[in-house]
Amino acid sequence: MDAHIRYQSIYSSSKEYAEKLAELLTMQDISAQAFDADRPVPVDDKPVVIFSYVHGPVIPAAKLATRISTESPLGRNIAAVAVGMTPIESAKAKDQMCSMVPDTCTRFYVPGRLNYSTVQPGHKAILTSIVTALKLKPGKSPAEQALVAGYNKDIDGIDFSYLDPIVSWVTAG
């Protein structure tokens, strides 16, 4: 069995997850390599797993999963994985990708990393504006509370144990 793994990463979290998934699948005798999302995915019956960051309403993995599903044979297993800073239970409950991908796509949410010490100036300015507004907001959600609490700190939430259900999904494929 083979699997195709793609990622779109800005600060490396998505890339690290994709590379670790490839390693875990290889240990299970599944041929898999992680490649940047710019590398085309062959049109075949192999499962596809796509990792990407989450920037507000933007999740590139969802967009790529949708495109691949329209180009692929019926029944192809495709999974979109959102790597973000929203607490995982909140991300799963919100299931932001639900309306972004076809019903046939599987969705996973994993925790990422946000190091303010390396954030691009434009991104940092946006985060500063959001956090400033959130500080004034009463009744913040758990995700909003986490964003305010983590502001201007380096936070590494990467946890490879979140790949276990994805490995199971690929091997069940």
Domain around 121: 114-156
Residues 132, 66, single domain; the answer is no
List the one residue out of 100, 43, 101 whose CA is nearest residue 76: 43
52 lies in the same domain as 70 = yes
Q: What is the CATH number of the domain that holds 48?
A: 3.40.50.360
- Average pLDDT in the 29-50 region? 95
CB proximity list for 159: less than 8 A, separation 6 or greater: 110, 111
Report how many helices (DSSP H) and strands (DSSP E) the chain contains, helices first.
6, 7
Residues 53, 102 share a domain: yes
* Alpha-carbon gap, residue 62 to 85, rounded angstroms: 17
Beta strands in the chain (DSSP E): 2-8, 31-36, 48-53, 78-84, 106-111, 113-115, 154-156
Q: What is the dihedral of CA 156, 157, 161, 163, to 10 degrees?
A: -100
Residues 63 and 18 in one domain: yes
Residues 103 and 135 in one domain: no
The C-alpha atoms of residue 4 and residue 17 are separated, in whole angstroms, by 14
Given pLDDT bands bounded at 50, 70 and 90, which one contains residue 56?
A: confident
Both 38 and 98 in one domain: the answer is yes
Quick: pLDDT tens for 148-171.
999 999 999 999 999 999 999 999
- Spatial distance between the Cα atoms of 150 and 102, rounded to a whole number of angstroms: 33
Confidence of residue 39 (pLDDT cuts 50, 70, 90): very high
Indicate the number of domains in the chain.
Answer: 2
Per residue in 23-32, pLDDT (tens digit) is: 999 999 999 9
At 95-154, the pLDDT tens digits run: 999 999 999 999 999 999 988 888 889 989 999 999 999 999 999 988 889 889 999 999
Residues 58 and 6 in one domain: yes
Shortest CA distance to 67 belongs to which of 34, 40, 106? Answer: 40
User: Are residues 83 and 9 part of one domain?
Assistant: yes
Measured CA to CA in angstroms, residue 90 lies from 36, 40, 53, 86 at distances of 28, 32, 16, 7
